[in-house]
Amino acid sequence: METVSLPMPDNAPEPGACVRVERPETGLAIVIFDPPHRSFPVFDAPMVRDLREVIRELAGDQSLRGVVFTGRKADQFLAGADVEGIGSITDPGIFEKACFELHEVFDSISKLSARTVAAVSGPVPGGAYEISLSCDRIVASDSNATRIGLPETQLGIIPGWGGSHRLPRRVGVPNALTAALTGRLFPAKSAYKMGMIDRVTKQEYLLRIASDIAMGRMPCKQKKRGYKAFLVDRNPLALWIVGAMAKRGVTAKTRGKYPAPYEVIKLILGAPLARHGVWAKKEAEVVGRLGVTSECKSLVSLFFGTERAKALGKHPNGKKLAPIETAAVVGAGIMGGGIASVLAQKGVSVRLADLSSEALGDSMAAHAKALKVKKKRRRINACEHDQALDRLDAVPGIIGMQGCDFAIEAVAEVLGVKQKVLGALAEAMPDDAILATNTSSLSVDAIASTLPSPERVIGMHFFNPVPKMPLVEIIRGDQTSDETVIRTTALALQMGKTPVICKDVPGFLVNRLLGPYLDEAVRLFLAGVDPLRIENLMLDFGMPMGPLQLLDEVGIDIATHAAESLHQGYGDRMIPVEGLSTFVFNKRLGKKTGKGFYQHAGVKKGKKAKLAEDLGSFQKQAALAALDDQQIVDRMVLAMFNEGCRALEEQVVADADTLDLATVFGMGFAPFHGGLIRYGEARGVSDIVADLNRLCKAPDIVDRTGGILRFTPAQILIDAAANGGKLR
């Protein structure tokens, strides 16, 4: 039996164990992916080895009329490539060879004389969809769990097992670009509409219908491109226009920091006119080149970070969690309304309480609008829309909470107010109900100090806007129980969020790191650095928006309050700059008042806000205007990095990987860097220590109270510099 180029896992089973073949009737073979060493099948070395042998056997069977490829469970097909294997390969030649081996296996499927059908259900990402594309037909179940697509660009590579040339031939260049560049996994009905699959059926009928199609007993036509294939896919001018638009969109979104999208555009544009063998080799070569880049390795590390986060909502001993089915949300502002809406959309019955009927009405209207948009975009069906609408009730105060398993308050950031609200909830709800606070600056322990059963009190810090921001900080107080942490984390996962468990320290993690970053940005601005230069430098660094725009989005008053809280918690190194007080005094608070660093009022829909024309009046000096680009970036990024290292020292989160995940998902730290700590390790810890020491000698930093304290290298950094430069 031939070996494969992918790394063989330590727990690899004996040859032939990963793929089963059943023969339910003469002429029909059911190929079942069933690796004993995996809870969910992936294309690892044992799977490739065994599949190759199975296809060879089927190719020699002259009596075979139909072959169905399917998973071992109703909600399982394949999870695509072995991401762990991708992360471990450092030789582009191995990547290229392994990729081409899969091409050979998939090509052998497409060359079988028998009719081949992929019967898919559950997640069908990447390689799982690419093996399906090598079959004659694809049938998918209409289960809500079914999601089909090519997410490889999200890992810094391309669809390299045929997706970059088989998909455009099937659905056309524009649809293929949409699928590959967004990395979106489509529901079965959306995939069918795009032509990505050929039939949708009920889960219970999937295997029977796939078998009937494979045996020729049931017709299943594949959508044809018709005249569009000539007007677009084979028209050089049309392809040039489509390609130019795609490149502009990628550049606008990524500023050219990710090579994979540009490579996939070239491959998809050339696919309709290319020979299969030539394009298979091109795909393999590109995968080999991209798979060893720092961008790919960083994105793979974040993938594993999200997978580890998913395990936080499970009991270590395997004990089944009691699901949270009913919840109360107190406070119908933007945060509370957003939390309530997401909960209702994810299957939780919610009572949203507020004394303001206007606030309740606004939240209910926003919930209805969000559902209407999702229904219009076919993200949910009519039944799901109605159910989610019905799951949210508005009540004028803490009424009817006795049946709720969970409650979260999202009221004013005032300790006494939060204690009063949670105290009332504790009286109204069952004794084992979880009491959560959405505080961004107050201590969970302080809030719990006046409440009965402090072991069920926890922080659940969402970021605004709640429906879009993926991170939730789960704040564990000194007395918070393990059960409360696990159940709350499981609820965050149910809401589609990525949870990070944090210690109860001032600012928790994300706001603590953002504090010095934003403060240094404002100091640079007030000291004469062109604000547009500040913004563009951080956009080029990879941040999703400049720091001044972020201040406007957050609200300058809220940012000022957070800065003062950090100062109280950490002393002089967090002394906030004084210049923002003028903005607050004049009610120039950012987006919510129409003006801050940017002019928001009067900006037409679809247009970007521009920096306010009068910003020069706030710059009373030009002391730092002569700094070079790297010096400007370092003041902001190294202030944040140094504080992140202090958080690691204090074990605010479990480890460096968790901190990296939080910085990417919570503040938008450039994913291609892999997170804040990974960025520092790649740059060089010794170099960063030297750069921080240089900053400690800068005259303006020496002269300001707490300046040297902010930039003095954390002890963990000094130790790492002396021991190989690793912080994990």
Residue span of the structural domain in which 184 resides: 19-292
pLDDT recorded at residue 3: 66
d(CA 596, CA 617) in angstroms, rounded, equals: 13
Enter the tokens of residue 141.
Answer: 């179940």
Enter the tokens of residue 405.
Answer: 């398993």
Q: What is the CATH number of the domain that holds 680?
A: 1.10.1040.50
pLDDT recorded at residue 1: 54
* Sheet with strand 349-353: strands edge to edge: 392-395, 349-353, 326-330, 406-409, 434-437, 457-462, 471-476, 498-503
pLDDT recorded at residue 703: 94
Is there a contact between 214 and 64 (Cβ–Cβ < 8 Å)? Answer: no
d(CA 656, CA 677) in angstroms, rounded, equals: 6
pLDDT recorded at residue 180: 94
* Ranges of residues in the chain whose predicted pLDDT is under 50: none
Q: Is residue 314 part of a domain?
A: no
Pairing label, strands 185-187, 147-149: antiparallel
Pairing label, strands 457-462, 471-476: antiparallel
Verify that 129 and 218 share a domain, yes or no. Answer: yes
Verify that 140 and 270 share a domain, yes or no. Answer: yes
Verify that 209 and 354 share a domain, yes or no. Answer: no
d(CA 641, CA 484) in angstroms, rounded, equals: 31
Q: Is residue 651 part of a domain?
A: yes
d(CA 18, CA 515) in angstroms, rounded, equals: 51
- Choosing from 486, 503, 520, the residue where a domain stops is 503
Verify that 557 and 619 share a domain, yes or no. Answer: yes
Encoded amino acid at 230, one letter: F
Verify that 470 and 577 share a domain, yes or no. Answer: no
Q: Which long-range contacts (CB under 8 A, 24 or more apart) does 627-632 make?
A: 627/524, 627/529, 629/533, 629/537, 632/524, 632/529, 632/533, 632/534, 632/537
Q: Is residue 5 part of a domain?
A: no
pLDDT recorded at residue 587: 87
Count: domains in the chain: 3
Verify that 157 and 236 share a domain, yes or no. Answer: yes
- Choosing from 276, 292, 308, the residue where a domain stops is 292
Concerning whether 461 is annotated as a catalytic residue, the answer is yes
Verify that 288 and 405 share a domain, yes or no. Answer: no
Crossing angle of helices 676-683 and 685-695, in 10° steps, is 90
Q: Is residue 311 part of a domain?
A: no
Q: Is residue 83 part of a domain?
A: yes
d(CA 13, CA 47) in angstroms, rounded, equals: 10
Residues in the chain: 728
- Choosing from 503, 521, 556, the residue where a domain stops is 503
Verify that 496 and 531 share a domain, yes or no. Answer: no
Verify that 492 and 383 share a domain, yes or no. Answer: yes
Q: Which of 367, 461, 600, 673 is catalytic?
A: 461
pTM equals 0.89
Verify that 549 and 488 share a domain, yes or no. Answer: no
pLDDT recorded at residue 515: 96
Q: Is residue 256 part of a domain?
A: yes
Q: What is the CATH number of the domain that holds 184?
A: 3.90.226.10
Q: What is the CATH number of the domain that holds 408?
A: 3.40.50.720
Verify that 522 and 600 share a domain, yes or no. Answer: yes
Q: Is residue 4 part of a domain?
A: no
Verify that 131 and 259 share a domain, yes or no. Answer: yes
Q: Is residue 132 part of a domain?
A: yes
